[in-house]
Structure 1
Amino acid sequence: MLPGIARFLTQAILGLDLSSHLGASVEFFFYDTPKVLMLLALIVFFVGVLRSFFTPERTRRLLAGKNEALGNVLAALLGIVTPFCSCSAVPLFIGFLGAGVPLGVTFSFLVSAPMVNEVAVVLLYGLLGWKVAAIYMGAGLAVAMVSGFVIGKLGLERHVEDWVQAVRTESLANGGDAPDQQTWADRIDAGALAVRDIVGKVWLWVVAGIAVGAGIHGYVPEGFLAAVMGKDAWWSVPVAVGIGIPMYSNAAGIVPVVHALLEKGAALGTVLAFMMAVIALSLPEMVILRKVLKPRLLAAFIGVVGLGILFVGFLFNAIL
């Protein structure tokens, strides 16, 4: 149905030739925009219901007191479903350390939460299929787990800012979570609120990302990206990561661009590395983290996560 509507709007309403660059771009935009927004709203609703079971306090307590290996795995998995992003880095970091969560485990969560979130996975599934979504989720979780484990083993706790070391959260004195008294009606309301809040905030990013993707789809010559971002260009992965870090976007805005890049022949590993760099190592997140991390620890975080992303890019370019 959507392909027919997109062709009708492009040809009959706008009078554009579908074989032209502009026509192909506009048809791509009309087709992808409603599909992605509808898919996003549906999944955000169900994840919003799921998130009602995970308060910040409960998440901290789930992670506190675990050995590092188990903690890194659990933290990365919780990052997928908990309602946190890089903007929450400062209060989360303080709260996690105050609740006794090890430094490495905290970093596993902080990498996973923005990078392997439900928006990224669902949009990848809707646009590129379950295999690409599963590859991205598995690779992202691996980067989060390994990065947290390595940072934990480096013994860099003293490089957390002094004022953070002095903070202790009230959760330590409270002695436990309040009983969960939400009804299913409350949880459904939470799902609807999540749609209004999350989709309301990211829909412009989605439309902007689709517009960029539409331009790539219609105007970038076939084979061009295969030469620039293909498997044979060994330098494409580090260049893609270097380009992605200073960009300011989120999963909702970058996934449609990823879709268009892959359609034009870019290698999957290179594109995944680009996407991970944009989401997990963005410049705004580094600025926020600098408030709680001394330069050496921040540099270690960037270096470890960056090397993990590079490894993912090279690995998938080699095996796929």
Structure 2
Amino acid sequence: MNKMPTINTLDDVRQILTELPGPDLEAAGAAKMREPQLTKPAGSLGRLEQLAAWTATWQGRYPPRMKNPTAHVFAGNHGVVAQGVSAFPQDVTKQMVANFERGGAAINQMCKALGVNLCVEQMDLDNPTQDFTENPAMTDTECAAAIAFGMNVVDETSDVACLGEMGIGNTTASAAICLALFGGSSLQWCGPGTGLDKPGIGRKAEVIGIGVKLYKGHMHDGLDVMRCLGGREMAAITGAIIGARLKKVPVMLDGFVSTTAAAVLPSLNKRALDHCKVGHVSQEPGHKILLEKLGKVALQDQNMRLGECTGAVLAVALLKAAVACHNDMATFAEASVSTKSAEN
């Protein structure tokens, strides 16, 4: 069992990020050798072929496996909700967590249908982060503790860790983080979240502009940005991404909030997200911009914006198909099928 490093401060996290393990080149090579031997025209399964190789590479084993996928839904509350940036009250976070635990939410049905283990992680829901228009959202210690929690939650026996969230106000925090990391205008990063109208989106943009301006001189890297503007559930997702890398577990990110939690890492290690895929394109408008900034192409677009890890879990179906085809298809030799003619 891989023991996680001790985390007390964000500097501890920074140190870990300088020493992340790289890809398993032996597993990648084995996948590359097998793929052309399978009974299909070269490249005919498109991105599924790449997914199978990516899975083996970051699981650090060959053949790849997809029998034990896990979904983690991190839930947290945000003090900035006091600024009127959400269509729903903060109590909804706890109410939805209870719904997850009863098995009544969309994520429960998707996990059941696709054979994904579901873990719901509550991040001190009775104590929201600070309102970032007045104070940094978290102290260094609080942010580091949330990251450490996420690092330890990922189980090394998981074949993939799907990372999602629940938290009223977290699209506001996400938009603020993206503005701080990548610039642009407040409004371009803002969307309806849980259902804001046009004036509500305008108010949301105003609030994130205030927050980013307030801490501009105090945010030197992505972890500073997370501390000043993020949420505990978002910091925990950041930690889960790091922990998964250390435990050789590939990561499937969900939508805007999860991808934003990932986006704070490349400023400290440009290869930090190589073991991560994005399950879907959220209809939250900032997500498409963010994917372009990160150089990530989502696996699907189903016009979804629910969160809850639903887009990431839905992508597990693609991973299962990719791994099954790679592992279990017959080779040309096994099936006595002629290979491509040399004359062609």
Taking structure 2 as the reference length, the TM-score comes to 0.23
Taking structure 1 as the reference length, the TM-score comes to 0.24
Give the structure with the larger helix fraction.
Answer: 1
Q: Which has the higher contact order (CA 8 A, sep 6+)?
A: 2
